Structure 1
């Protein structure tokens, strides 16, 4: 009865007509006032309740507006207390929007589910979110929906599994669903469906994100030969985003031990105390490693033609330079993000951490800093350290900045020199 009354109130605000519905969800969220409603103690909760009630309305545009408002709220605030008793109710409405709504509504709902999981953090609630979402999300992936819906669902599936999975088997279930998008099996003589580059890149990113949660000691290299081979073929894809996503997937495979990146290339396999099949697997992986290293080297030096997007090209060069360095010397990538003077700096120093950071930054968007400051989940995942420059004087900060700049210059010069040497070596080999 109470819900019915609230829904009627929501209808007055959201469903009288499309022209009267809230044109901007973020504006609606910020402008809600309770000056004339003494029963409402918290204007934020009041606005969120209105959005939740609007999810029950029949008009699609009304639900889209409500979803936009909730997504904006999840990004802008830590709503742990608010969703504590509403988690599953919200989830069911979000799933309903994925099943029955427009593409736009389904994309918003997928994002809302991921944000809900990140908000509640690891535990029983996020595990329930994952369990209830998986069948519906997998169905969308099998249906071959349009690119934007597929990409949103892939992101959602990766996030809810990352937060909610409690064992390897659950993670593998999602990995298999995502891999079917990356490398679908032919359903008939017509062959496997060809994925749009945007979908393929999103699937590779989601897959890599989940692979970072797999412990190296649980890996059977024999089962990874086919995936690694297929990933290596994607380094030749026409689309740069696909090439880069495949490169990141391969990098994390190296790091968790699938390709045994730290083994000696000149190992005497005859002396290995292993059977013939394992020796063949070892030699196969070593040849694959050499092939990937050569391709990474070429992509780190790719020339840009007329009309080339220089930023994307530079991003590719930088990524594959890091991959090449890691393959040849085991040098791990490093990155840092300043969160705030209070929370310091978030630092990563491995492919696993870098891929997790980049994925969550992209998924949370403008809400990343807010969640990095207040969300315990992110503090459990990443290393937050003190920003040493905060305690320095102005002159000391200036000196520190110059030293950092000099270090970056030296690193760039080193990379250029190594690239030139590798290029010269390749040309000499071709001349020979």
Structure 2
């Protein structure tokens, strides 16, 4: 953040780079608590951004307004003021009126993400510019963004079973020597303990249950 601050103060004709730096600086500032902001790092920020309001570059102008509005909302103006008093450096009401909107809404799938605080507006706009078309995907899957924006994506509901087989069949292939074929056939097909008979009984019971449900449903 300090490096971005130093870059913003460089004399350069590349206004696009400076405006990008302003948005990045505001994005980082928006994630900070006022108590953690140093008194010495950002002294003079208010007059610096106020002077940028005279620059004829739309992106820089928007960034400067947002930065001033954010500084005021953090509630620690003394950490950002310059040599003169804050009241003399800028009109708070006018800056806030031009730097924020009541609410920003973005469609994420079938849901709507809404933010109504300036820090979150700055974060949302920055991430949209950074991620481009991938923003929606990240909002659906990135748990960090869910925490930042207090967003709960809809979970995909697994559909109910649409198809139930009307009839199940079981087949068992066994190798039976010729000398014991008749005895084995009886044991496999007739014995109550055989695997084949047990499987056939389970299938019959299942089909009976299905028919019972169908009759019950048709009687409503």
The interval holding the TM-score normalised by the smaller chain is 0.5 to 0.7
- What is residue 208 of structure 2 aligned with on the other side? none
User: Quick check: 1:286 aligned with 2:74?
Assistant: no
Cα RMSD over matched residues?
A: 3.0
For 1:198, which of 16, 27, 38 is the aligned residue?
Answer: 16
Cα displacement (A) at 1:371: 1.1
Cα displacement (A) at 1:283: 7.3
- What is residue 212 of structure 1 aligned with on the other side? 30
- The answer to whether the 8 Å contact 1:179/1:207 transfers is yes
Cα gap change, 1:361/1:338 in structure 2, threshold over 3 Å: closer, same or farther?
same
Cα gap change, 1:227/1:283 in structure 2, threshold over 3 Å: closer, same or farther?
closer
Separation of aligned partners in 2, 1:197 and 1:289: 23
More helix by share: 1
- What is residue 62 of structure 2 aligned with on the other side? 244
Cα gap change, 1:378/1:208 in structure 2, threshold over 3 Å: closer, same or farther?
same
> SS state of the match for residue 336, structure 1?
strand
1:38-187 equivalences under 5 Å are 175-184=1-10
- What is residue 64 of structure 1 aligned with on the other side? none
- The answer to whether the 8 Å contact 2:47/2:89 transfers is yes
For 2:136, which of 369, 379, 394 is the aligned residue?
Answer: 369
Cα displacement (A) at 1:252: 1.2
- What is residue 334 of structure 1 aligned with on the other side? 103
Cα displacement (A) at 1:223: 5.0
Greater Cα radius of gyration, structure 1 or 2: 2
> SS state of the match for residue 42, structure 2?
helix
- The answer to whether the 8 Å contact 1:221/1:258 transfers is no
> SS state of the match for residue 28, structure 2?
helix
**For structure 1, which runs of at least 5 residues remain unmatched after alignment?**
1-174, 185-192, 261-277, 297-319, 327-331, 388-432
User: Quick check: 1:384 aligned with 2:147?
Assistant: no
Cα gap change, 1:377/1:195 in structure 2, threshold over 3 Å: closer, same or farther?
farther
- The answer to whether the 8 Å contact 1:197/1:242 transfers is yes
Cα displacement (A) at 1:215: 0.4
Cα displacement (A) at 1:219: 3.0
Post-superposition Cα deviations, 1:380-402, rounded to whole Å, max 9, x if no partner, equal 21122699xxxxxxxxxxxxxxx
Cα displacement (A) at 1:281: 8.0
- The answer to whether the 8 Å contact 1:234/1:243 transfers is yes
Post-superposition Cα deviations, 1:60-98, rounded to whole Å, max 9, x if no partner, equal xxxxxxxxxxxxxxxxxxxxxxxxxxxxxxxxxxxxxxx
- The answer to whether the 8 Å contact 1:225/1:285 transfers is no
Separation of aligned partners in 2, 1:222 and 1:340: 44
- What is residue 347 of structure 1 aligned with on the other side? 114
- The answer to whether the 8 Å contact 1:224/1:258 transfers is no
Cα displacement (A) at 1:214: 1.2
Query: How many residues matched?
Result: 153
Cα gap change, 1:333/1:221 in structure 2, threshold over 3 Å: closer, same or farther?
farther
Separation of aligned partners in 1, 2:65 and 2:143: 30
Cα displacement (A) at 1:359: 0.5
Separation of aligned partners in 2, 1:386 and 1:337: 13
Higher relative contact order (CA 8 A, sep 6+): 2
Separation of aligned partners in 2, 1:259 and 1:339: 36
- The answer to whether the 8 Å contact 2:46/2:82 transfers is no
Separation of aligned partners in 2, 1:176 and 1:232: 19
Cα displacement (A) at 1:225: 3.6
> SS state of the match for residue 347, structure 1?
strand
Q: Give runs of ≥4 in structure 1 deviating > 6 Å.
A: 280-283
Cα displacement (A) at 1:334: 1.5
Separation of aligned partners in 2, 1:288 and 1:222: 18
